Amino acid sequence: MTKQVAKKEEQEIVLAETMPAFMDANSGRGNEDVTVDDLSIPRMDVIQSLSPQRKKNDPAYIEGAEEGMLFNSVTQALYGTEVAFIPVFFRKEYVVWKDRDAGGGFGGAFPSQAEAQKVADDLGNDTHQVVDTAQHFGLIVHSASNFEEVVISMAKSKMKTSRQLNTLCKMSGGDRFSSVYNIKAVEVNGDKGDYYSMTVKRMGYVSEEMYKVGEALYNAVSGGERNVNYVEAEAEEVAEGTEAY
C-alpha cells in the first residue's frame, strides 16, 4: 500500500518596506563589532558606454542600466538622470589606481599629490596613475522625510562640476548642508569621444528635518565614522576614473 503524503502549500514571502512596530530601531544587536572599516557610504555615479553596469556578464551588471543614468554602486539602484542632493562634507584626495589594462586595483588615497605620486612610482608609474579626486559626501532626497547617504567622487572632467558645487555652497552661506541642489547627468562631446558628466543647480534651503539629518552625517564623516570604501568602489573607479573623461 502506497502511503500518501500531503504536499505542504508554499507560502508567499511578504516583506515590509518600513520597520514593523515590534522592532526596536535603536537596538542594533549583532552590530557590536562593526567598525568604520566594515562600513561604506555608497557611491553615486553616472553610467558610461563602457561601464560594467551595462555588461550582462559582469558582476556589477544592473538590469535596465543605460548611458546617462545615475546609479548607486552598492544597492545598484537606478535614479534616472537627476536627483535632489544635499552636500554635507567635502574632501580633496589624490587616489592611486592601477590601470585597467594592467589588471586594475586600488593603490591608496592620500591628502597630497606628493604622497600619492611616491606610492605610484613605487608601485610602477608605467601602470599606476594618480587621480585628483573630490569626494562629496551627502544625502539624496527622495522625499521630505526619506534620505539616502551617498558620496559622489568627482575626478578629471567632473572636477568642473565639483568646483561649481563648492562655489554654490559658499555663495549660499551657512553650513554646507543648508541647501538642496539638483544633480543632473549631461552628455558631453569630448575630443576623445562622447561621455556623461554632471551639472549642478541650487534648488533652495533645506527643511529642519533635512538639516538635522545632514548635521548627523556631517558629524559622522568628520568624526571618522563614515568613509569611502575603495575596495567596493574599485570596479567602478577603474572603469571610469582612468578613462579620458
Measured between alpha carbons, how far is 83 from 96 in angstroms, rounded to an integer? 29
The domains of the chain are located at: 38-241
50, 132, 134, 245 from 156: Cα distances, Å: 17, 7, 10, 6
Q: How far apart are CA 173 and CA 153, in angstroms?
A: 23
Taking only the tens of pLDDT, the chain with its 245 residues reads 555 655 556 667 777 777 778 888 787 788 777 666 666 688 899 999 888 899 989 888 899 999 999 999 888 999 999 999 999 999 999 998 888 777 778 888 888 989 999 988 888 878 888 989 999 999 999 999 899 999 999 988 889 999 999 999 999 999 999 999 999 999 988 777 788 999 999 999 999 999 999 999 999 999 888 887 665 555 444 444 434 33
Residue 44 pairs in a beta bridge with 72
